Structure 1
Amino acid sequence: MDSILNAPFVHDLVTLFKPALFNLYFLLLAVPFGFPLAVLLALGKNSKNKLLSIPASTYVYAFRGSPLFIQFFMFYAITLALNPGVWKPLGISWLMIHPLFIGPFVLVLNTGAYAAEIFYGALRTIPKGEIEAARAVGMSKWQEFRTAVWPNMLRLAWPAYTNEVVFLFHSTTLVYFTMPVINEQKDLLNKAGELFEKDYNLFLHFSAAALYFLVISIVIFFVFNLIYKRLTRHLNVDVSLKIKPNYIR
């Protein structure tokens, strides 16, 4: 047993467990806040009211058109320029410039824009017949949205949104590349780089980090696949997660 635990790869897996929790922390904060932001932006962009559609479209274009790497730099610079010392009496000066705050905050803004475009595309492809049927029976705008628009939008957008969440998880590696590392708050890629600097064993350390990303990504796919099954339970289609390659068609 001791020989297994002392194996270099297993040792790396144990060492990288805590850093993996930081990547999960960023993801688990970004998704719950980014999802409603994306829905609001998609509805705003799809609105016929220019006061809603223009700001929403501008926001989506700005965040989708600029690299996430630069967005982290810009927001970190902005928080420093705001002179956090002014906020010391409120006790939030450290929070404003802390990576554990700025990281999820920027990820929420970024995924909100990308997911908004996904939901907007789904809104544009909702079957018109279902909306017309809802109006024909005298439904209010809210009832129409709740019974016809919302479920169809989620069902159509969910596969693409699942990919967005996985990409978002991978993007958490940029947090500590753009902001200072405080104490031992290192994520997977940052810690793997630190291990690499000790013995220059590139394949060993980054393979262990990649395994964490692979396993967590599979878990995300599995959980979101269960949700997709729920969304499509009324359809006679097979939406089960297939990990085994299909060599013969």
Structure 2
Amino acid sequence: MELITAIANDLVILAKPALFNIYFAAASIPIGFVLAIFVALGKGSSHKLVTALSRGFIYAFRGSPFFIQLFMFYSLALAFNLSLWKPLGIDWIVLNPLVLGPAVLVLNTTAYTANILHGAMQNVPKGEIEAARAFGMNRLQLFRAVTWPNVIRIAWPAYTNEVVVLFHTTALVYFTLPVINDEKDLMNKAGELFEKDYNAFLHFPVAGLYFLGISMIIFFVFGRVYRHLMRHLPQAPAIRFSPRWIRG
């Protein structure tokens, strides 16, 4: 009974910190997805410079740990604080973790998502493209009517995993950036609770429950979207968000 009470108390205490993790993900995913479309198109561009820049961007952010990226951008922001941000009066924005955190997450997810979308673009049925060109469609019409619908259907399962991984990555934001006032995320708050009673078997597992529960919700919502995208098929394949034995 005491254990159930302790878990219930932790669930209540960690509810607000969980909102910060959700905020970091929700603030970065839409912007990152839009930017990823342009980077993916750039990677497949016939212009060598655009292709090189796009590939370099993807390689840089996919080839380095997110923690290093976060530390690097925060260090750069601090380095330019006295000479640039403070005189302009925007240091409170640039150095704010609620701004800087999502900004770095945007760059990170842009690289991964762009690679996913580019791979999907490579797998668009060539016959459909040739048919659209024979029908007289220009490049914009071809992209809107043929390329993009196929790309989003092909890329959606992999992109779902990217969103979940991004949400998990938000746990690293406050490992580098300073905590302002009581703006603690799940891991910060769990660590604070742990420092009071050193009960590692309570606070961190409850924080893990939040990550698990929210991840399940993401899988469920994105699975529904995928079913909608594949509604034209007789039996649309579903994205699995639970072990096989749960489904019986």
1:84, 1:94 within 8 Å by CA — same for their partners in 2?
Answer: no
Q: What is the alpha-carbon distance in structure 1 between the residues aligned to residue 81 and residue 18 of structure 2?
A: 32
Q: For 1:43, give the aligned amino acid.
A: L
Q: What is the alpha-carbon distance in structure 1 between the residues aligned to residue 233 and residue 57 of structure 2?
A: 35
Q: What is the alpha-carbon distance in structure 2 between the residues aligned to residue 5 and residue 215 of structure 1?
A: 20
SS at match of 2:10: helix
Question: What does 1:209-224 align with in structure 2 at a 5 Å threshold?
Answer: 209-224=207-222
2:160, 2:222 within 8 Å by CA — same for their partners in 1?
Answer: yes
Residue of structure 2 equivalent to 1:80 = 78
Percent identity reads: 58
The alpha-carbon deviation at position 14 of structure 1 amounts to: 0.3
Q: What is the alpha-carbon distance in structure 2 between the residues aligned to residue 51 and residue 192 of structure 1?
A: 47
**Residue in structure 2 matching 1:55, options 36, 53, 56:** 53
Q: What is the alpha-carbon distance in structure 2 between the residues aligned to residue 51 and residue 27 of structure 1?
A: 31
- Give the TM-score normalised by the residue count of structure 1: 0.94
RMSD of the TM alignment (CA)?
A: 2.0
Structure 1 244/180 Cα, relative in aligned 2: closer, same or farther at 3 Å? closer
Structure 1 109/75 Cα, relative in aligned 2: closer, same or farther at 3 Å? same
1:19, 1:187 within 8 Å by CA — same for their partners in 2?
Answer: yes
**Residue in structure 1 matching 2:196, options 195, 198, 201:** 198
Question: What does 1:228-239 align with in structure 2 at a 5 Å threshold?
Answer: 228-239=226-237
Q: Provide the aligned length of Structure 1 versus Structure 2.
A: 247
**Residue in structure 1 matching 2:44, options 29, 43, 46:** 46
1:22, 1:186 within 8 Å by CA — same for their partners in 2?
Answer: yes
Q: Which runs of 4+ in 1 moved over 6 A?
A: 3-6
2:153, 2:230 within 8 Å by CA — same for their partners in 1?
Answer: yes
Question: What does 1:171-210 align with in structure 2 at a 5 Å threshold?
Answer: 171-210=169-208
Once the two structures are overlaid, the 10-residue window that deviates more, 122-131 or 5-14, is 5-14
Q: What is the alpha-carbon distance in structure 1 between the residues aligned to residue 54 and residue 134 of structure 2?
A: 30
**Residue in structure 2 matching 1:149, options 147, 156, 171:** 147
Q: What is the alpha-carbon distance in structure 2 between the residues aligned to residue 5 and residue 24 of structure 1?
A: 27
**Residue in structure 2 matching 1:136, options 126, 134, 156:** 134
The alpha-carbon deviation at position 240 of structure 1 amounts to: 3.8
The alpha-carbon deviation at position 49 of structure 1 amounts to: 1.3
Structure 1 82/66 Cα, relative in aligned 2: closer, same or farther at 3 Å? same
2:70, 2:101 within 8 Å by CA — same for their partners in 1?
Answer: yes
The alpha-carbon deviation at position 230 of structure 1 amounts to: 1.6
2:230, 2:236 within 8 Å by CA — same for their partners in 1?
Answer: no
The alpha-carbon deviation at position 206 of structure 1 amounts to: 1.0
The alpha-carbon deviation at position 178 of structure 1 amounts to: 0.8
Structure 1 136/76 Cα, relative in aligned 2: closer, same or farther at 3 Å? same
The alpha-carbon deviation at position 5 of structure 1 amounts to: 11
Q: What is the alpha-carbon distance in structure 2 between the residues aligned to residue 187 and residue 58 of structure 1?
A: 32
- Give the TM-score normalised by the residue count of structure 2: 0.94
Q: What is the alpha-carbon distance in structure 2 between the residues aligned to residue 58 and residue 152 of structure 1?
A: 26
2:226, 2:239 within 8 Å by CA — same for their partners in 1?
Answer: no
The alpha-carbon deviation at position 244 of structure 1 amounts to: 4.9
Question: What does 1:110-129 align with in structure 2 at a 5 Å threshold?
Answer: 110-129=108-127
1:95, 1:101 within 8 Å by CA — same for their partners in 2?
Answer: yes
The alpha-carbon deviation at position 146 of structure 1 amounts to: 0.4
Residue of structure 2 equivalent to 1:11 = 9
SS at match of 1:202: coil
Q: What is the alpha-carbon distance in structure 2 between the residues aligned to residue 5 and residue 198 of structure 1?
A: 17
Task: Work out whether 1:225 is the aligned partner of 2:223.
Answer: yes
**Residue in structure 2 matching 1:98, options 89, 92, 96:** 96
* Structure 1: runs of 5 or more not aligned: none
2:124, 2:150 within 8 Å by CA — same for their partners in 1?
Answer: yes
Structure 1 85/218 Cα, relative in aligned 2: closer, same or farther at 3 Å? same
Q: What is the alpha-carbon distance in structure 2 between the residues aligned to residue 119 and residue 238 of structure 1?
A: 21
Structure 1 173/84 Cα, relative in aligned 2: closer, same or farther at 3 Å? farther
